[in-house]
Amino acid sequence: MKFSTDIACALGLLAGTTFGSGVAFGFGWQAYRALTSVTVFGIAGIIITIVVFRLLHRKPPSTSNSR
């Protein structure tokens, strides 16, 4: 299964919002604090998965010497 940036963003959003709602539930936050937590962690999840996706799919530099 090949991953694309779209799938990475979707998985990051899913993981981030799930984590954010868990944090909000753990602290007993209501309304705006919970919504803010879910939003912040969702955006952070997207950014983190894009960075990891790019690092994992980076091509190594060529090691051949053409002299």
State residue 67's pLDDT score.
57
Predicted confidence (pLDDT) at residue 23 exceeds the cutoff of 60: yes
Note if the pTM is more than 0.85: no
- Determine if residue 2 is left, alpha or beta; phi over 0 gives left, psi from -120 to 50 gives alpha, anything else beta: beta
Average pLDDT over residues 37-48: 95
8-state DSSP, 3? -
Is 46 in contact with 9 (CB distance < 8 Å)? yes
Domain ranges within the chain, ordered by starting residue: 5-55
pLDDT surpasses 70 at 24: yes
pLDDT reading at 40 higher than 80: yes
| pLDDT at 3 (0 to 100) | 63
Q: Are 21 and 37 in contact (CB under 8 A)?
A: yes
